[in-house]
Amino acid sequence: MKELSKQMIEDFGKGFNAENIKNMQQFYLMQVAEEIQILEPTKKPEDVIRDIYVLEFLGLTSNDDFYESDLE
């Protein structure tokens, strides 16, 4: 963070000390997190399991005890 601070002060002038950069980073991350929540609401496990590709992704093999269609 200190190296970034030095470089930014050289490039853009004062106002880019390590503490300010840390605050800018936190602000940005909070904004991104809020945007993600708006665009992609939290899913419940039931919503994810219904995806036909989840069992394949998890590496579960087909067997007679359950079928993916039974989960829906």
Considering the domain architecture, whether residues 1 and 24 belong to the same structural domain is answered as: yes
Can you give the residue range of the structural domain that contains 52?
Answer: 42-72
pTM above 0.85, yes or no: no
Considering the domain architecture, whether residues 19 and 50 belong to the same structural domain is answered as: no
30-64 pLDDT tens trace: 999 888 888 887 777 776 666 556 666 666 665 54
14-23 pLDDT tens trace: 999 999 999 9
Considering the domain architecture, whether residues 19 and 48 belong to the same structural domain is answered as: no
Query: Which helix H or strand E contains 17, and what residues bound it?
Result: none
Number of domains in the chain: 2
- Residue 66: phi and psi, rounded to 5, are -155, 155
Considering the domain architecture, whether residues 25 and 50 belong to the same structural domain is answered as: no
Considering the domain architecture, whether residues 35 and 24 belong to the same structural domain is answered as: yes
Considering the domain architecture, whether residues 30 and 62 belong to the same structural domain is answered as: no
Residue 21 structure tokens:
């950069």
